Structure 1
Amino acid sequence: MANFIALIPAAGTGSRIGEAVPKQYLSLVGKPMIYHALHALYHTVRITRIGVVLAPDDADWERYDWSRFDDKLMVMRCGGATRAESVTNGLRSLRVSGSIHDQDWILVHDAARPGLSVTLIERLLDQLAEDEVGGLLAIPLADTLKRANSDNRVARTEPRERLWQAQTPQMFRAALLLNALQNAPEGITDDASAVEATGRLPRLVMGDAYNFKVTYPQDMALAALVLQEK
């Protein structure tokens, strides 16, 4: 029987948010940001293990108490220069240790999406557990899209029909995901892109606007409001 295993790549520096510490450790409602993603994944009963991929020189992780997650938590200091490298290295490490098998489901989630809920995770598991490919949380685009020219003037308006904004977790079988990432073209920005490059079509599962990615300083205040409401 396949297991459901979460993987959080957390080796980045979060340079766009302009803080001295990596984004995943910024304080959000009294906890480091990554705590909130861990909390949702930990309280999803069907998820048996949670792997966190840190940079080899990460000096911040040990500053916090993670003991409440100990029975599911696996920490790996094998992060790479890119998200794809970190996920690939994490999967390799889990495979070498015997912690995953080829048919296990891997749910890759961004540390900087603190608005994840157990309800969203359960929806993803329910809709993809029997899927041939896997898929991801996403939401249909609601805003009008403008493509700019080199002078930052509108070159044209892009049709938004059938366009979705990708979120995480993104869920694929371990062997499929690792093979896709190891052979992925340069410049991919998420796991689904690597799987798409193999010719497969990941399924889109309705996400939630609260599950947004904290990228810029102003996003912190919005994330705090979301968490306080929850």
Structure 2
Amino acid sequence: MSRRIALVPAAGHGSRFGTATPKQYQLLHGRPLLAHTLDTLCDCAAIARVLLVISPQDEWFDLYRWPQAKLDVLRIGGNSRAQSVANGLAALQADDDDWVLVHDAARCCLSADALQRLIDTVADDAVGGLLAQPVADTVKQGSAAGRVSATVPRDGLWLAQTPQMFRAGLLAEALQDPAHPALTDEASAIERLGHAPRLVAGEAQNFKVTWPGDLALAAAILAARKDNA
């Protein structure tokens, strides 16, 4: 029987965040942002293991306590997300039929419902899939001068989220050239092999913390979720 394994690449520093401490270690409700991400994955009964890939030069991980159940930590992160995922897959030595759910460390507001919806929807899919949100706003293309150059039709456009869930063997094949500039996420790697990943409706709350102001929004979401539990 195939397993479901979560893989979290967390070797980046998050240069856009503009702080000396990587954003995955910024505190939310007294705990690192990354801890909230790992909680959701480790608490999911359908996931057998959670693999965290951090940089060999990581100075922060050992300063905190982390959920121990299911969690394995490897200091083999690469210079890019794709390289970190490829390194994690190689170390994982999973069966080709095992499912791997790659999730952004900075998407700390992933809900248990969205995670389970992805797992249930993709379980019998021949390719795999990802959480995503249909684009609701008008999309503008900008020029080098900082002006609108075109309005892009939003019909059929989706914003990719994570987790992105694919078979280990297929994903390893897709990431054989992790330095390829077109590999912005796992789905794009699968697409380069000629496959069409399935889109599974995600949630606006499952956003990626990118800017310092995003911390307040994430804190509010997590607090509201706790109050309603």
* Aligned match for 2:128, one of 125, 134, 140: 134
Paired residues, number:
224
* Aligned match for 2:200, one of 197, 205, 219: 205
* Aligned match for 2:189, one of 191, 194, 203: 194
Output the CA distance in 2 between the equivalents of 1:189 and 1:218: 24
Output the CA distance in 1 between the equivalents of 2:3 and 2:91: 17
SS of 2:115's equivalent in the other structure is helix
Output the CA distance in 2 between the equivalents of 1:89 and 1:80: 7
Instruction: Give the deviation of 1:71 after TM superposition.
Output: 2.7
* Aligned match for 1:113, one of 94, 100, 107: 107
Taking structure 2 as the reference length, the TM-score comes to 0.96
Output the CA distance in 1 between the equivalents of 2:35 and 2:113: 17
Amino acid at match of 2:116: E
CA deviation string 1:86-137 (max 9, x = no partner): 0000100111xxxx21110000000000111111111001000100000000
Q: Which moved more, 1:184-193 or 1:24-33?
A: 184-193
Matches within 5 A, 1:91-170: 91-95=89-93, 100-170=94-164
Partner of 1:14: 14
Partner of 1:26: 26
Output the CA distance in 2 between the equivalents of 1:14 and 1:154: 28
Output the CA distance in 1 between the equivalents of 2:168 and 2:97: 6
Q: Following superposition, which runs of at least 4 residues in structure 1 exceed 2 angstroms of deviation?
A: 183-187
Partner of 2:174: 180
Give the share of equivalent positions with the same residue, in percent: 53
Q: Which moved more, 1:180-189 or 1:194-203?
A: 180-189
Output the CA distance in 1 between the equivalents of 2:134 and 2:110: 17
Output the CA distance in 1 between the equivalents of 2:86 and 2:201: 26
SS of 2:48's equivalent in the other structure is strand
Q: Runs of 5+ in structure 1 lacking a partner?
A: none
Partner of 2:77: 79
Output the CA distance in 1 between the equivalents of 2:27 and 2:181: 33
Taking structure 1 as the reference length, the TM-score comes to 0.95
* Aligned match for 1:215, one of 210, 217, 228: 210
SS of 1:137's equivalent in the other structure is strand
* Aligned match for 1:90, one of 81, 88, 91: 88
Instruction: Give the deviation of 1:149 after TM superposition.
Output: 1.2
CA contact (8 A) 2:29 2:219 kept: yes
Q: Runs of 5+ in structure 2 lacking a partner?
A: none
Output the CA distance in 1 between the equivalents of 2:144 and 2:69: 52
